[in-house]
Homo-oligomer: A and B are copies of this chain.
Amino acid sequence: MRRRNLSLVLHTVATHGPISRAGVASRIGLTRSAVSTLVEELDRAGLLVELGPGRPGTVGRPGSELALSESGPAGLGAEIGVDRLAVCAVDLRGRVRVRAEEPAAHRGSAPGPVLRRLARLCARVAADAGREGLRPAGLTVAVPGLVARDAATVVRAPNLGWEGLDARAPLAQALTLPVTVANEANIGALAELWCGGHSPAPRDFVYVSAEIGIGAAVVVDGALLRGAHGFAGELGHVPVRPQGLRCACGGRGCLERYAGEEAVLRAAGIDERGPAGVAELRNRAGAGDGAARRALRGAGAALGTALAGVVNLLDPEAVVLGGALTELAPWVVPAAERELRRHVADPARAAHGGIVVSGLGRDAALLGAARSVVQDVLDDPLGAAPAPA
CB <8 Å contact, B344 and A251: yes
The CA-CA distance from A228 to B350 in the complex, in Å, is 13
CB of A220 closer than 8 Å to a CB of B? yes
The CA-CA distance from A344 to B225 in the complex, in Å, is 18
CB of A136 closer than 8 Å to a CB of B? no
| Among B218, B234, B343, contact of A252 (Cβ-Cβ < 8 Å) | B343
| Among B155, B228, B249, B308, contact of A316 (Cβ-Cβ < 8 Å) | B228
CB <8 Å contact, A234 and B348: yes
CB <8 Å contact, A204 and B233: no
Contacts of A305 in B (CB 8 A): 239, 242
CB of A241 closer than 8 Å to a CB of B? yes
The CA-CA distance from A146 to B12 in the complex, in Å, is 40
CB <8 Å contact, B349 and A232: no
Range for the number of chain A residues in contact with chain B: 35 or more
Q: Provide the A101-119 mask, 1 if CB < 8 A to any CB of B, else 0.
A: 0000000000000000000
CB of A216 closer than 8 Å to a CB of B? yes
Contacts of A216 in B (CB 8 A): 313
CB <8 Å contact, A232 and B315: yes
* Nearest chain B residue, comparing its CB with the CB of A163: B347
- Number of copies of this kind of chain in the complex: 2
Contacts of A146 in B (CB 8 A): 347
* Nearest chain B residue, comparing its CB with the CB of A205: B228
CB <8 Å contact, A313 and B349: no
| Among B232, B249, B316, contact of A346 (Cβ-Cβ < 8 Å) | B249
CB of A389 closer than 8 Å to a CB of B? no
For the complex formed, measure the closest distance between the CB of A244 and the CB atoms of chain B, giving whole angstroms. Answer: 10
The CA-CA distance from A156 to B348 in the complex, in Å, is 10
CB <8 Å contact, B314 and A227: yes
The CA-CA distance from A339 to B252 in the complex, in Å, is 10
The CA-CA distance from A315 to B186 in the complex, in Å, is 14
For the complex formed, measure the closest distance between the CB of A379 and the CB atoms of chain B, giving whole angstroms. Answer: 20
CB <8 Å contact, B228 and A315: yes
CB <8 Å contact, B237 and A343: yes
CB of A160 closer than 8 Å to a CB of B? no
CB <8 Å contact, A239 and B314: no
Could you say which of A241, A251, A252, A342 has the most chain B C-beta atoms within 10 Å of its C-beta? A251
CB of A306 closer than 8 Å to a CB of B? yes
Could you say which of A146, A232, A339, A351 has the most chain B C-beta atoms within 10 Å of its C-beta? A232
For the complex formed, measure the closest distance between the CB of A126 and the CB atoms of chain B, giving whole angstroms. Answer: 33
CB of A355 closer than 8 Å to a CB of B? no
* Nearest chain B residue, comparing its CB with the CB of A203: B228
A218-B313, A310-B313, A348-B231 as given contacts; A342 in contact with B238, CB under 8 Å = no
Contacts of A226 in B (CB 8 A): 315
The CA-CA distance from A146 to B233 in the complex, in Å, is 25
CB <8 Å contact, B349 and A230: no
The CA-CA distance from A242 to B238 in the complex, in Å, is 13
CB of A250 closer than 8 Å to a CB of B? yes
| Among B218, B239, B240, B348, contact of A229 (Cβ-Cβ < 8 Å) | B348
CB <8 Å contact, B309 and A345: no
A237-B344, A252-B342, A305-B242 as given contacts; A313 in contact with B204, CB under 8 Å = no
Q: What are 15 of the A-B contact pairs (CB < 8 Å)?
A: A204-B227, A220-B225, A227-B315, A229-B315, A229-B348, A232-B313, A233-B313, A234-B312, A234-B348, A237-B345, A242-B305, A249-B345, A251-B308, A251-B343, A313-B313
